[in-house]
A and B are shown apart, each in its own frame.
Chain A
Amino acid sequence: MLAADFIWRALAGGIGVALVTGPLGCFVVWRRMAYFGDTLGHSALLGVALGYLLGINLTVGVMATALTVALLLAAGLRQQILASDTLLGILAHGALALGLVLLSFLPTLRVDLLAYLFGDILAVGRSDVIAIWLAGAGLLVALGWLWRPLLAITVHEDLARVEGVAIEPTKLAFTLMLAVTVAVALKLVGIVLVTSLLIIPAAAARRFAATPEQMAAGAAGLGTLTVIGGLAASLLWDTPSGPSIVLAAVILFAILQLVPRRGLSAPH
């Protein structure tokens, strides 16, 4: 059974996604954007619905709606009355509700709603794996290129601007990368759980990192372990794959909290 092709495809796709969501998720954690990731995830269902209704590629539909939501948020933040988490709540649930309503216009059998809500990694095909690795490689190259300016902005935006960082283009590029990542990760863990791949490996890696780079590498590694563990558990006990991967991440996070931190353990 372990030799079945679909398992290797699932593993390859899952690891490809984890290698990207780890480092990118570090920025989501550092910049306190967890809820923003959630909102992008929720808006993805609207993208799926629009993709079906307009007959365009679903991934393109998801990326387009995620970007639209990000731009709406940026515009909405110009008014200074509603806080960003309130605005995100409006956008997230508005997009999710609209997506669900639009999906109801489609013949039931055409859309497997559960697969989009919670992911269906075992249905990942050959072309999906290739797309994930191509997109992932592109995202990592872009992240490496933006690493220093993005980190400088995260530490102090005004100081970064005085030091010559182009703030708005960098932030826009990061938002774009998040939108692509959400669209790619959607297949694995679905809309509801997509943020977890961004924040849990990053949060778990924090305790063992002394520099931002170590934390990013650690998050990629822990994300990979999570995918392998979650997938194995899903096959072993016949549990749904998306939630199993997320649960594996949570368990890994909890176990790592118990490990004493290097350098802080008692000397002997």
Chain B
Amino acid sequence: MPDADALIEVAGIDVAIGGNRILSAIDLTVGRGEIVSLIGPNGAGKSTLVRVVLGLLQPDRGKVWRRAGIAIGYVPQRLTIDPILPMTVRRFLALAGRRSAVYERQVLDEVGVPDILDRPVQQVSGGEFQRVLLARALLRQPDLLVLDEPVQGVDLTGQSEIYRLIGRIRDNRGCGVLLVSHDLHLVMAATDRVLCINHHVCCAGLPEAVTQHPEYVALFGRGVAENLALYAHHHDHAHDPGGHVVPLPAAAAAGSGDHHEHPDHPHRHDHAGR
């Protein structure tokens, strides 16, 4: 049974699309007041998992539980509005349904774009538009925010500002946040827990632990040299050249990351340092 603070919980999720295994045996929980980052390389199945969490996609196997009556605010990946569709920020926000003008002002202040209501959405900057998307999600007074790559099209400085904003929103509203990113280093400061997936769960846990996990290092190839020592300690399995899991029983319990068992790999790993 999910604990009292859990907002959503999915377990043992398998998804195959057109015969390709996209997700296998994924577990994920997000609780109240918690920021969980979902990371993984491009094509790892992050957005597919988000669609399962949101109820947009039925998994082939596994359990999806959402707390009854929770409101979810969603910022999708890549929302662009065709130039043929005339749309002001005000009209765009109204698509979420009727809200009081007072609350709308309050939310725009909260996300830091108080004065753009009458601008065409096609003419606001990338950073402003991401904040407008966040505002549309917040208008629903969400218990859970699901943000799929919320810093797309934003420059580096702007990115860290938006991540700080997400942290503040969580602090002020106490909502849960599921944050999707392809880069852990940017989200680390604002994250409570990390789930790193590449079709299966590679590793999960506190941000610091995940950055040192061998599968994380293998996927992102960052700081490989300095983590070589940890590599041996944290490994609970290795991969043979065919991609099959070879268990390393001695090391299993030592990992600070919470590793998932997955006896049958759907893909090859390209491990650094092999």
Contact = CB atoms under 8 A, between A and B. Distances in A.
B86 A211 contact: yes
A162 B87 contact: no
A264 to B, nearest CB: 11
B86 A206 contact: yes
Interface residues of A, number: 25
B82 A30 contact: yes
Contacts of B97: 148, 163-164
Interface stretch (A44-52, A136-144, A150-158): A150-158
Interface in B108-122: 120
A183 B70 CA distance: 44
Say what secondary structure dominates the interface of chain B: loop
Nearest to B77: A158
A29 interface: yes
Given A29-B84, A162-B56, A206-B86, A211 B91 contact: yes
B95 A215 contact: no
A211 B88 contact: yes
A209 interface: yes
A155 B74 CA distance: 14
A57 interface: no
Contacts of A203: 84
Interface string B123-141: 0000000000000000010
B54 interface: yes
B86 A214 contact: yes
Interface string A3-39: 0000000000000000000000000011000000000
A123 B78 CA distance: 50
Contacts of A29: 84
Given A151-B95, A161-B56, A163-B96, A156 B88 contact: no
B54 A210 contact: no
Contacts of A161: 56
A158 B51 contact: yes
B18 interface: yes
Nearest to A29: B84
Interface in B78-102: 79, 81-82, 84-88, 91-92, 94-97
Contacts of A151: 95
A212 interface: yes
B72 interface: yes
A210 B120 contact: yes
Contacts of A211: 86-88, 91
A206 B84 contact: yes
A155 B81 contact: yes
Interface centre among B72, B84, B120, B146 (most CB of A within 10 A): B84
Contacts of B140: 163
Interface in A141-183: 148, 151-152, 154-156, 158-164
Nearest to B148: A158
A80 interface: yes
A113 B246 CA distance: 74
A155 B84 contact: no
B41 interface: no
B76 A158 contact: yes
Interface of B: 18, 51, 54, 56, 72, 74, 76, 79, 81-82, 84-88, 91-92, 94-97, 120, 140, 146
21 contacts: A29-B84, A30-B82, A148-B97, A152-B95, A154-B85, A155-B79, A155-B92, A156-B79, A158-B54, A159-B74, A159-B79, A162-B56, A162-B72, A162-B74, A162-B146, A163-B95, A163-B96, A203-B84, A206-B86, A210-B86, A212-B87
Please provide the 7 A-B residue pairs with the shortest distance between their CB atoms, ordered closest to farther: A162-B74, A209-B86, A152-B95, A30-B85, A211-B91, A156-B79, A159-B76
Interface of A: 29-30, 80, 148, 151-152, 154-156, 158-164, 203, 206, 209-215
